[in-house]
Copies of this chain bind each other. A is one copy, B any other.
Amino acid sequence: MFFSTPRLQYPVRVDRPNPVFARALQQAIGGVEGEIRVMLQYLFQSWGARGPMKYRDMLLNTGTEEIGHVEMLSTAVALNLEGAPLSFQEEMSADPMAGAVLNGMNLRHILSTGLAATPENCNGVPFNASHVYASGNLAADMYANVAAEATGRALAVRLYGMTDDPGMKDMLSFLIARDTMHQQQWLAVIEELGGTAALPIPNSFPQAQEKGEFAYAFFVHSADGIAPEGRWTTGTSLDGKGQFEAMISKPLGEVPQLAPARPDGGAQAEQTTMQPPAGVPGGTIS
């Protein structure tokens, strides 16, 4: 259950409103790297948590924090829209470089919301909840959370660089700090779960049942058969259970043979009989 206060988690101040920056900020609200995503992701991970309750509690705390981040950013969008032009004629009278601002705006900020934020990204694409990753596997979810906070911090850093408004820079420096903490926080859970020793994820599947010979081999798919070398082709694997190697990938399977189409299935008549594959018998790949 949730409570709220009309005060913001951190001050949001815009010194020089910029309606085009309002469009950019939308990426941090409704983009795949944005705050609606992490808000719902942490809450759904919490609500579906099975196992130790402390993770449920922690996720609930941070999910609750993130609601307030959406609130801060929505406020920042609205404040960047103060004074935005509502028409072509208004804009042209103020500025002979007609259309510059309206061109760069999300027109829905005028037409659909009357100068307020939308739950969309910077291109006006609505947030889609399929981006809420809550797999029921704690370690997998923690990596998904690190990825969300890493792309989210990259986004916040880019927004910080895009503007020179002091108020916006101040707000973003707060959000960037929180992203730092949240990266740490999810990695801390991974450390508690054993770090790389907890790999591979999920760790509840007996590895004897996987095709072990392919579990630590880098498959080379370059047509010239040359592997890009790195840590992933040499040394002990990160879970300590195997040795990395480079392996030229070859087809281990045959050409699939589907049954002919059924005569009553809506296909063309030609598809209802089978013919031998063309050009396949000599299909040796070396």
The answer to whether A201 and B268 touch (CB under 8 A), given A177-B210, A177-B212, is yes
The answer to whether A147 and B144 touch (CB under 8 A), given A2-B221, A48-B116, A68-B1, is yes
Cβ–Cβ < 8 Å partners of A161 in chain B:
86-87, 264-266
- In the bound complex, do residue A101 and residue B99 qualify as a contact, i.e. CB atoms below 8 Å apart? yes
- In the bound complex, do residue A222 and residue B183 qualify as a contact, i.e. CB atoms below 8 Å apart? no
- In the bound complex, do residue B232 and residue A173 qualify as a contact, i.e. CB atoms below 8 Å apart? no
* Interface flags, A111-139, vs B, CB<8A=1, else 0: 11111111111111111111111111111
Which chain A residues (230-263) contact chain B, with CB distance < 8 Å?
Answer: 230-232, 237-239, 242, 244, 249, 251-256, 258-263
Cα-based distance from A261 to B27 in the complex (angstroms): 21
- In the bound complex, do residue A150 and residue B137 qualify as a contact, i.e. CB atoms below 8 Å apart? yes
Question: This chain: how many copies in the complex?
Answer: 6
- In the bound complex, do residue B136 and residue A113 qualify as a contact, i.e. CB atoms below 8 Å apart? yes
The answer to whether A5 and B122 touch (CB under 8 A), given A189-B232, A204-B269, A265-B114, is no
Cα-based distance from A214 to B3 in the complex (angstroms): 18
* Interface flags, A140-183, vs B, CB<8A=1, else 0: 10011011011101110111111110000000011011111101
Cβ–Cβ < 8 Å partners of A15 in chain B:
none
- In the bound complex, do residue A150 and residue B158 qualify as a contact, i.e. CB atoms below 8 Å apart? no
Cα-based distance from A185 to B202 in the complex (angstroms): 16
- In the bound complex, do residue B176 and residue A205 qualify as a contact, i.e. CB atoms below 8 Å apart? yes
Cβ–Cβ < 8 Å partners of A285 in chain B:
1, 3, 5, 7, 223-224
6 other A-B residue contacts (CB within 8 Å) besides A30-B129, A79-B256, A135-B151 = A20-B88, A88-B163, A100-B100, A114-B262, A114-B267, A202-B266
Pull 19 A–B residue pairs with CB atoms less than 8 Å apart, ordered by A: A8-B256, A10-B252, A11-B252, A20-B99, A20-B102, A31-B112, A57-B279, A62-B221, A82-B258, A88-B162, A88-B164, A107-B123, A115-B261, A126-B130, A136-B154, A143-B143, A161-B264, A204-B265, A226-B279
